[in-house]
């Protein structure tokens, strides 16, 4: 229930003031007699409750009329939301170079893959109405999660992603091609791949530029992200027991990533630090907003008569009693 003119309800504050004033006037009225014993002898229930009853009826009438003037309404509203679906595949590099500790998290140095997983998780949570899939790649690519609206399940699969799941080279074309294959047959109005890598393509199987051409043919737009600081960072190489055997460096091929994005009508972003990484996914989120059409229906039924009629009834009853059973001497 709602009130069409709720500000009128403030007039209800006057009702207690009116009742208080009526009580004071009742105490000051009356005639003076030398003795009230004869009157007490004929005292009845009506004489005791009469004055208070009349005041109560008038106060109730006043309060009910004020509520009626505020126009209480009972109704229902219905909203229909129509969205244009977007299918998104997140393609993430998990080659060995993603272990480089050139990002920060909570004021501490953190690996690239650790920060990327946190930012990707936030990106997923910001798009609850889109189907999102996850592909990871190193020397080979594999689907960590197919397209799904079950983002809790997707989040759990993201937790399982770690360096070493695939061999440690960088097959950008394989990752992109796998992502495009997940989108080629979908009916979504918009199809998007967000590809992140921190290295150059050293396993061209297939070449990334060829995979980009295939993406264009299937109407898939590709956003590419170059991860890592602007300076070469040593990446630890460890054995199965976790012992560091040495260090390597990764060279980011920005020209390749720019070409891939341009071929498909997407954009290239450089994420040199944690802040830039977060900003990059935030920009992509804004670029790929789906259209939402909301149609709202409202139907309200006036309820003022449910308050006005009892209010008038209380007033008429007070007038009737005042002129019959509770009639007083002038």
Give pLDDT tens digits for 163-215: 776 676 889 999 999 999 999 988 888 899 999 998 888 888 899 999 999 99
On average, the pLDDT of the chain sits at 81
pLDDT band at 264 (very low <50, low <70, confident <90, very high): very high
Give pLDDT tens digits for 2-33: 788 888 888 888 888 888 887 777 665 555 55
pLDDT band at 303 (very low <50, low <70, confident <90, very high): confident
**Which backbone phi and psi does 252 adopt, to 5 degrees?**
-80, 130
Residue 203 confidence (pLDDT): 86
- Euclidean distance between CA atoms 66 and 272, whole angstroms: 65
Question: Which residues lie closer than 8 Å to 173 by C-beta, 6 or more apart?
Answer: 201, 203, 204, 205, 206, 207, 208, 209, 210, 211
The answer as to CATH 3.40.50.410 being correct for domain 85-290 is yes
- Euclidean distance between CA atoms 181 and 215, whole angstroms: 9
Q: Which of 28-32, 167-171, 277-281, 286-290 has the highest mean pLDDT?
A: 277-281
Are 266 and 224 in contact, with CB atoms under 8 Å apart?
yes
- Domain coordinates of the chain in residue numbers? 2-76+298-323, 85-290
Q: What is the pTM of this model?
A: 0.61
- Euclidean distance between CA atoms 216 and 197, whole angstroms: 20
Residue 239 confidence (pLDDT): 46
More confident residue, 44 or 97: 97
Mean pLDDT of 63-81: 78
């Amino acid at each position: 229930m709602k009130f069409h003119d709720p500000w009128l309800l403030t007039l209800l504050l006057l009702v207690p003031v009116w009742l208080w004033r009526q009580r004071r006037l009742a105490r000051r009225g009356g005639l003076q007699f030398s003795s009230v014993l004869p009157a007490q002898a004929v005292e009845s229930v009506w004489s005791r409750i009469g004055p208070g009853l009349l005041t109560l009826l008038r106060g109730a009438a006043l309060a009910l009329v004020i509520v009626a003037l505020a126009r209480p309404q009972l109704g229902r509203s219905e909203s229909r939301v129509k969205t244009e679906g977007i299918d998104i595949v997140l393609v993430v590099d998990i080659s060995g170079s993603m272990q480089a500790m050139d990002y920060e998290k909570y004021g501490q140095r953190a690996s690239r893959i650790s920060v990327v997983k946190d930012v990707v998780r936030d990106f997923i949570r910001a798009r609850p109405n889109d189907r999102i899939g996850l592909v990871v790649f190193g020397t080979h690519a594999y689907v960590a999660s197919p397209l799904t609206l079950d983002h809790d399940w997707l989040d759990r699969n993201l937790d399982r992603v770690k360096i070493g799941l695939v061999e440690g080279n960088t097959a950008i074309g394989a990752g992109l091609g796998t992502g495009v294959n997940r989108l080629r047959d979908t009916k979504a109005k918009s199809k998007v791949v967000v590809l992140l890598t921190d290295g150059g393509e050293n396993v061209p199987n297939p070449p990334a530029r060829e995979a980009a051409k295939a993406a264009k043919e299937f109407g898939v737009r590709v956003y590419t992200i170059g991860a890592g600081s602007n300076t070469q960072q040593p990446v630890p190489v460890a054995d199965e027991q976790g012992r560091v055997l040495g260090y390597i460096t990764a060279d980011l091929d920005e020209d390749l990533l720019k070409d891939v994005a341009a071929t498909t009508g997407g954009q290239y972003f450089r994420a040199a630090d944690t802040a830039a990484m977060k900003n990059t996914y935030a920009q992509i989120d804004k670029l790929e907003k789906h259209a939402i059409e909301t149609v709202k229906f409202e139907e309200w039924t006036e309820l003022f008569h449910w308050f006005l009629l009892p209010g008038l009834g209380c007033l008429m009853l007070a007038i009737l009693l005042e002129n019959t059973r509770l009639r007083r001497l002038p």
